[in-house]
Amino acid sequence: MAARVLAALLATALALALAAGPAPARASNDEGDALYALRQRLSDPNGVLQSWDPTLVNPCTWFHVTCDQASRVVRLDLGNSNVSGSIGPELGRLVNLKYLELYRNNLDGEIPKELGNLKNLISLDLYANKLTGGIPKSLSKLDSLRFMRLNNNKLTGSIPREFAKLSNLKVIDLSNNDLCGTIPVDGPFSTFPLRSFENNSRLNGPELQGLVPYDFGC
């Protein structure tokens, strides 16, 4: 008798343990978490990020976010959105991103080096903000990049020589910053117009052929 009661108790305990199971909470979605971290970092006086609800399964229904059929984030469209604050490292986790459009806002701070992890990025548009600091060398890892527009910011330092490896780059605009040193001439740089580099008072024009590149005064 006692054995049967004990067996019944054990069976009940087992059933309860199975029913509790693993924590059911929202499936973790790293891309949603990264975007939500950006939302918390930014000041958003016009409320353009209001639909960014972290309790949803993924960020694919959030305004200004576009996913592919596998629910991976491929576009972030926050140009002309009047947001301010710093971009932060989290966006480097959106490894499927193709279009990063943050132009014409009041973003400040530095361009995070983590953006170099966005291997699928086609378009990097950060122009017309208040970004400071150097242009990260890590952006030379963006093999798919076709458009890089960082113009009209307050960027300093030199143009990374490694950008000459960006063989898919069709358009670069670094004008209206505070860059120094010389303009690379190799790879895609052989086709870019000088206007892409205008209004950087300390930039010294194209590298002289045959001279070892050296960033004088940078």
Ligand X SMILES: *[C@@H]1O[C@H](CO)[C@@H](O)[C@H](O)[C@H]1NC(C)=O
Binding site for ligand X (CB under 6 A): 45-46, 82, 175-176, 195, 198-199
CB-based contact 105:130 (threshold 8 Å): no
Shortest Cβ distance from residue 61 to ligand X (Å)?
A: 24
Shortest Cβ distance from residue 128 to ligand X (Å)?
A: 11
Choice between 132 and 199, CB closer to ligand X: 199
CB-based contact 53:62 (threshold 8 Å): yes
Choice between 4 and 195, CB closer to ligand X: 195
Shortest Cβ distance from residue 194 to ligand X (Å)?
A: 9
Choice between 29 and 175, CB closer to ligand X: 175
Shortest Cβ distance from residue 48 to ligand X (Å)?
A: 10
Parallel, antiparallel or unpaired: strands 65-67 and 73-77: antiparallel
Choice between 85 and 134, CB closer to ligand X: 85
Which residues sit opposite 73 in a β-bridge?
67
| 37 contacts: CB under 8 Å, gap ≥ 6 | 88, 90
How far is residue 168 from each of residues 7, 104, 106, 147, 207, measured CA to CA in Å?
69, 25, 29, 9, 21
